[in-house]
Structure 1
Amino acid sequence: MSRMPIVATEQAIAHLDAGTWARANARLVVKMLAEFSHELLIAPVPETEPHAADSAVYTLTTHDARVRYRFRATVRALEHWHIEPATLEKTVDGAPAPLDAVELVLELRAQLGIGDAALPTYLEEITATLYSLAWKLAAGGLRARDVVDADFQQIEAAMTEGHPAFIANSGRVGFDSIDYRAYTPEAAAPIRLVWVAAHVSRAQFTCSADRSYAEHLAGELDAADRTAFAERLEARGLDADDYRFMPVHPWQWHNRIVYAFAGEIAAERLVYLGFSQNAYQAQQSIRTLFNRDAPTRCYVKMALSILNMGFTRGLSPYYMRGTPEINDWIDRLLRGDAYLCDKGFTILREVAAIGYRHPHFEAAAPSTDGANKMLAALWRESPYNQVEASQRLMTMAALLHRDAESASVIGELVDASPLDIDAWLARYLDAYMSPLLHCFYAHDLVFMPHGENIILVLEDNVPVRAIMKDIAEEVGIMNTDVELPGEVARLAVEVPEELKVLSLFTDLFDLIFRYIADILADERGYPPQAFWQRVADCVRAYQAAHPEFADKFARYDLFAPAFKRSCLNRLQLRNNAQMIDLDDPAGHLQFAGTLANPIADL
C-alpha cells in the first residue's frame, strides 16, 4: 500500500480532537438557538422580564422536559437573538451536559417539524457542517485585521460561516474526506479542470454577442491546451468541428459522468481530452471556480451533483442555453440607466454556456430532475477586468465575518479607513442598497443580493461600488406584463403584490443588515438605532432623488410598520433535497408571522 492513502486517511481526522469538536458544537448550538428562535420554531422563556435593549436570562425546555438550555441573550431589532456564548449551558435532570448540535436537533424534533424521511439527511448535513467548522477552527484562519489587507482569493477562502441564516450550510453530501481537502473553498487547494469534447448532436454552446465559440476558447484555454485537445480527437479519427470543448469538475467526472455517461463515452459522443493547465480555486458557492493562474479569465461554474443547503448542485443545460442572452440583456439595461452608471453598479456577465443533453435521462425524467443536470457549465466574467489600480475586491460576505477571536472584518475595515462608522455605513449603503432600490422601483428587477453574490469594490477600505454576480438563476422581473425578448422572457415571475417588496425586506434587512447591526452593537457599542437610521436615510435619499416613483414608494412601502417573516431554515427542514422550485420561487416560501420594521418610525 502506498504512503499517500495512509497520510490522507490520517489527515481526514487530524482536526477531530475533543476540544475542537466541543468548540464547533458550542458555536453551532448558539447559532441554532438564535436562528430557530428568530424563525419562531422555538420560544425561549425569560426568567425575568427583559427591558427594551437589555439582555436577560432565557431558558429553553425541549420536548424531553429533563433537557434544558439556559443562556443570556439580547433580542434586537428584527427579533435577532444575540446569545452570549459564554453563558450557554445545558443540563439533563439538572446535571451539566455537553453541547451537541446533533442531539439538539433530535431534542427539538417535534418543534422543528422535520419529517422522518428528511431527518437522517439533515443530521448528516449538521454533522458535515460541524466537521467543516472544526476544520476551520483547527486551521485558525486569518485574523480580521489580516483579512483587511488580504487579496481577493485569500479573503474568499477565509470565510468561515457559510450562509449566515442557514444552520446546515456546509453539508456537501457526496464529498468524501479527500474531496473536502481538494474541492472546498476553505481548503483553497488548486484545482485543474477536466475537459471533454461533446458532440454537437448532444451539446449546445451559446455565448454573448461580443464573442464566438472560437474566440471564447482562445480567451479561456492556452494555445497549447487547445492544440493538444484537437490532436487527441484527430488521433481517434474524429473531426474537432463536430465537437464542442467543455470543462467538467473533477469530482463530477469521477463520481457521475464516467458511470452515468458511460454509453456516450463508449460511442465517442463524449471524449475525454485531459486536464487544462490553469489552476482554479473553489469559491464560497463551491461549484464555481476562480482562475488563480490567470485572474482576468472567467470564473467557471460547473455541475456538481452533491447535496448542499437544500439543493443538489447540478446545472441545467436548458437554463444554460439562455444564460448569455439574459446576461447581455441585463447588462444593457444597467448600462443604459444613468443612475446605476453613476453608482457604478454592474454585473459579472455569464458570457458563455454549454450543456449536454443525455437522451436516456430526458426520456426518463423531467428537465428539472437532477438526472438532467449532470453535465453543463458556464463562464462568468472576472471582476479583475472592472477595477482600477487603486481599488481592491472583497466578497460582501466578509462584512459578516468574525475571526477565531470574534473580531469583525467590518470593524477592522472602518478602523483602517479615514471614516467613522456613520460615514462608512453611509458609503456602503449608497454603494450596495441604493442600486438595488433603483433596480426594484425603476425596473421591477430583483436579484439575490446575499453576501456571497456581491463583490464590493473598495478604495482606502471604503466601499465605492458593488458588483452583482450569479445572474441567470437568481434574478427576476416582477412584472409579467412587460414584453421581454427570447430567453429573457423566463425572467418574468408571477409574484403576489404583497410579496414583491419582501425581496428587499428579506434579502437586505433580514439576511444582511440585522447581522451587521448586531456585530457593530456587540463589538463596537454602535447603537442599533443608529445603524437603522443610516438605512432609513439611504432609502429617503433615494426617494427624494426619484419623485417619479412616488406611487411605487407608497405601494411598496419600505417604511411599513411590519413585513412577513420569511424563514429559510423552515424551508430546508421541510424539504432538504429541493427547497424551492426555481420556476415558482414565491410559491414555496415559508412564513411565520411578521417582523416589526426597524425603520418604520425613522
Structure 2
Amino acid sequence: MTLDAAHLRPCTMARAQRHLVAKALAEFAHERLLAPVDVGDGWFQVVLGDEAVYRFRALRLRLEHWVLDESSLSRTVDGEPCDLDASELVLELQPLLEIPDHLLATYLEEIAATLAAAAYKVDQGGPTAHELLSADLPTVEAAMTEGHPGFVANNGRLGFGLDAYRRYAPEVGRPFSLQWVAARRDLTHLALGAGLDEAALYEGELDASERDRFGGVLDDVGLDPAAYRLLPVHPWQWDTRLAVTFAPDVARRDLVPLGRGADAYQAQQSIRTMLNLSRPDRHYVKTALAIQNMGFLRGLSPAYMRHTPAINDWVAALVAADPTLGACGFEVLRERASIGYTGDVYHRAPAPSAQRKMVAALWRESPVTRIGTDERLATMASLLHRDHDGAAYASALIRASGVGAEAWVAQYLHAYLRPVVHCLLVHDLAFMPHGENVILVLADHVPRRVLMKDVGEEVAVLRERDLPDEVARIRQPVDAAEQALAVFTDVFDGVLRHLAGILHVDGVLDEDRFWALVAACVDQHAAEHPGLSSRVDLRVDRFAHSCLNRLQLRNTLHMVDLASQSGSLIYAGTLANPIARSAVAVPA
C-alpha cells in the first residue's frame, strides 16, 4: 500500500529533525538566546532546565556564527538518550525564548510545517551540487532546501494542505497555470510604469486568443468587457479565499472568474512570485497568497502597491545613471505594473485587516531578457545551499570555475557587495539584499553581476532628502549607525557569515581570508570615492546585533511593521565587526 503522505516516514523525519534542531541551536546561540558551554576538544553542551542536555561538536566563527557538526548532535533527558525533536526543543527553550503564550502554538505549527517540507525534500533527494552547475534558473529555484538561512521556522506556509503543497511549493517545481478574474474597473486601481499602458500590459502577458476568450466569458453573462480589468490570481487563493471570503463580490459580478491562463508558471523561493515557463521573456507575476509564513500573512496591499511602479522607475533611473553601478553591471528588475481590488466590504470596515490584502497582483520584469548567450541565472540563495549529500553549491562553483577561491570571492563581492555599499553611501539607498531578492548572473561559474528584485516593497531612502510625491513612502530616515546596519545586518550577518562558514568548513577559503577580501572591497570603494562623507563607517569595531528570530518569536503573526521597520527591530547587544580596522589585515 502506498501512503498518501509517503514522505512523512521515521527515517525522513529523523533527518529533518536533526537538521532543524542543529539550525535552531546555532541560530539561537547566534542571537544570544542560549549560550553553549565549551566542554573541550571542540565539544559544546547546552543544558535546558533540570532535564534536557544537548551535546555537539561545533566551530564558532566570526560574527558569533556557529557551524554545528549535525552528525555529532545528541540529546539526553534525565540522562537517557532521546530522539531529536525541534518542537520539544522549542518547549524546552520557552523560558528563554519568551514566545507569548497565545502565539506559542502558532510558532510550533510553523516548526511542524517546516519539518514536513524538509522531510519532503529529504525524500525527493533533488539534483546534486555538481548537477546544478549546468541547471537553469527554474531548476535551481526548485532545488533549494533551506529557506531563509537565519530563521528557524522558515517554511511555515500555514494554510497549505498536502495537496496544495504538492501543487504549489517551490521545491516541488511543478508547473501550474494562473487563475484570471475580471475585476470591475471602478473598484480597482491599476498602476503602470513609465512607457507602459494598460493595453500593452495585457497584450504582452496574454495571447490574443486568451484575451478574446476572457472577453467572451463576460459577454456570455451580459457584462461589458470594457468595464473590467484583468487580474491574475494564484489558483490556491481563488479556491480558498476569493470563492469563499469574497463570495458576495463574485455573486455581484464585481469579480468574475474567467478560467485558467494558457501559460505554465513555477513558484520561486519567495512562493507568491511565479516565473513564466511557457514564455520566460514575459513578466514574473506576484500575487496575494493568504498563507502565514515567517512572520507575515503573505498578502499584497492595493493601497501600498499604488506607487510601486513609480518607486521602481525612480530607483531604476537612479541606478542606470550611476557609472559605478554600471561598471558593476548592477541592475534592478522593475515591478512594471500593479493591480488591486478594493470593492469589498473589508475596505469599508473601519480597521485595516488582512482581508484588504487578498486580491492584488503585480508584474515584474523577467531576468531572462537581461542575459547574454554565455551567461546563466541562479538565485543568490543557492550560494548557501547544500545538496542531499552535504555538498555545497558555492564550493562546487568555485572548483568548477578554475579561477581560485580568492579571485572568485573577490569578483562576487564586486558584483554584489560593492553596489549595495555604493547605493547606501552615495544615495542613502538601502535594498533588502538577501539571497531570495538577488539573482546572480554567472559566466563560466563565476558571478559576473547581480540583478536586484523586490524593489517596491523593501527599498528605503535612509536620510532626509527631496523625493517625488509618489516615491515619498520610501523615505525612512535613521541615524548613521542604523544606516550602516543595511550592510552589517542584511549583508554581513544575513548572507556573508553563512557563505564564509560554508567555504571555511569545506576547506575552500579560510574565513580570515574571506573577511579580508570583504574589507578590501569596502576599502577599494572608499579609495575610489574620496569625497564621500565618513558619517557611515563600515569598518568600525562593533555594530548593533539585530536579531531576526527574536522578531518572529515576539510576534509570529506580524513580525515587522513595514511602515516603520526601524521601530520594529530587536537588538541583543553588539557584534564584533569582522572587517574592523583593528581586526583584519587587508590584502594588497
Could you tell me how far apart the structure 1 residues matched to 2:256 and 2:328 are? 46
Which stretches in structure 2 are left out of the alignment for 5+ residues? none
Report the equivalent of 1:40. Answer: 32
Report the equivalent of 1:585. Answer: 565
1:521 is aligned, of 504, 507, 515, to: 504
Alignment of 1:91-490 (within 5 A): 91-367=76-352, 369-480=353-464, 482-490=465-473
Deviation at 1:135, TM superposition (A): 0.4
Alignment of 1:41-80 (within 5 A): 41-48=33-40, 56-63=42-49, 65-80=50-65
- Runs of 4+ that moved beyond 4 A: none
1:509 aligns with 2:478: no
Matched to 2:492, the amino acid is F
Could you tell me how far apart the structure 1 residues matched to 2:408 and 2:480 are? 34
Kindly provide the CA deviation profile for residues 467-492 of structure 1, in whole angstroms up to 9, marking residues without a partner as x: 00011111000122x11113201010
Of 517-526 and 165-174, more deviation after overlay is shown by 517-526
Deviation at 1:511, TM superposition (A): 0.8
Deviation at 1:111, TM superposition (A): 0.7
**CA RMSD for the aligned pairs?**
1.2
Deviation at 1:498, TM superposition (A): 2.3
- Structure 1 length as normaliser, TM-score? 0.95
Contact 2:192 2:198 in 1 (8 A): yes
Could you tell me how far apart the structure 1 residues matched to 2:388 and 2:245 are? 42
Deviation at 1:525, TM superposition (A): 5.0
Could you tell me how far apart the structure 2 residues matched to 1:497 and 1:529 are? 27
Secondary structure class of the residue paired with 2:563: coil
Could you tell me how far apart the structure 1 residues matched to 2:59 and 2:319 are? 41
Kindly provide the CA deviation profile for residues 60-113 of structure 1, in whole angstroms up to 9, marking residues without a partner as x: 1112x1211111111110000111112111111211111011000001110111
Contact 2:286 2:361 in 1 (8 A): yes
Secondary structure class of the residue paired with 2:240: helix
Could you tell me how far apart the structure 2 residues matched to 1:108 and 1:593 are? 20
Q: What is the total number of aligned residue pairs between the two structures?
A: 582
Contact 1:411 1:524 in 2 (8 A): no
Matched to 1:37, the amino acid is A
Report the equivalent of 1:51. Answer: none
Could you tell me how far apart the structure 1 residues matched to 2:493 and 2:370 are? 29
Matched to 1:319, the amino acid is Y
Deviation at 1:223, TM superposition (A): 1.2
Kindly provide the CA deviation profile for residues 149-190 of structure 1, in whole angstroms up to 9, marking residues without a partner as x: 111110000000000000000000000000000110001111
2:549 is aligned, of 546, 557, 569, to: 569
Could you tell me how far apart the structure 1 residues matched to 2:329 and 2:294 are? 32
- Identity, % of aligned positions: 49
Could you tell me how far apart the structure 1 residues matched to 2:179 and 2:321 are? 38
Secondary structure class of the residue paired with 2:336: strand
Secondary structure class of the residue paired with 2:155: coil
Of 491-500 and 79-88, more deviation after overlay is shown by 491-500
Could you tell me how far apart the structure 2 residues matched to 1:495 and 1:578 are? 22
Kindly provide the CA deviation profile for residues 215-259 of structure 1, in whole angstroms up to 9, marking residues without a partner as x: 110000111110100111112221111110110111111111112
- Structure 2 length as normaliser, TM-score? 0.97
Secondary structure class of the residue paired with 1:457: strand
Secondary structure class of the residue paired with 2:46: strand
Kindly provide the CA deviation profile for residues 100-149 of structure 1, in whole angstroms up to 9, marking residues without a partner as x: 11000001110111111110000000000000001001100111111111
Matched to 2:498, the amino acid is Y
Contact 2:179 2:259 in 1 (8 A): yes
Could you tell me how far apart the structure 1 residues matched to 2:71 and 2:274 are? 38
Q: Using a 3 Å threshold, how does the CA distance of structure 1 residues 462 and 365 change in structure 2: closer, same or farther?
A: farther
Of 33-42 and 410-419, more deviation after overlay is shown by 410-419
Secondary structure class of the residue paired with 2:426: helix
Kindly provide the CA deviation profile for residues 389-431 of structure 1, in whole angstroms up to 9, marking residues without a partner as x: 1111010001000111111111110111130000000000000
Matched to 1:113, the amino acid is E
Matched to 2:396, the amino acid is E
Matched to 2:433, the amino acid is P
Could you tell me how far apart the structure 2 residues matched to 1:136 and 1:366 are? 40
Report the equivalent of 1:560. Answer: 540
Could you tell me how far apart the structure 2 residues matched to 1:248 and 1:456 are? 28
Contact 1:456 1:463 in 2 (8 A): yes
Matched to 2:548, the amino acid is L
Report the equivalent of 1:29. Answer: 21
Could you tell me how far apart the structure 2 residues matched to 1:197 and 1:188 are? 28
1:543 aligns with 2:526: yes
Deviation at 1:56, TM superposition (A): 2.1
Contact 1:358 1:372 in 2 (8 A): no
Which stretches in structure 1 are left out of the alignment for 5+ residues? 1-5, 49-54
Matched to 2:287, the amino acid is M
Contact 1:365 1:372 in 2 (8 A): no
Deviation at 1:270, TM superposition (A): 1.0
Kindly provide the CA deviation profile for residues 418-449 of structure 1, in whole angstroms up to 9, marking residues without a partner as x: 30000000000000011111100110000000
Secondary structure class of the residue paired with 1:145: helix
Could you tell me how far apart the structure 2 residues matched to 1:462 and 1:359 are? 49
Secondary structure class of the residue paired with 2:282: coil
Contact 1:392 1:458 in 2 (8 A): yes
Could you tell me how far apart the structure 1 residues matched to 2:157 and 2:336 are? 28
Contact 1:365 1:371 in 2 (8 A): no
Matched to 2:459, the amino acid is V
Secondary structure class of the residue paired with 1:47: strand
Deviation at 1:262, TM superposition (A): 1.5
Secondary structure class of the residue paired with 1:218: helix
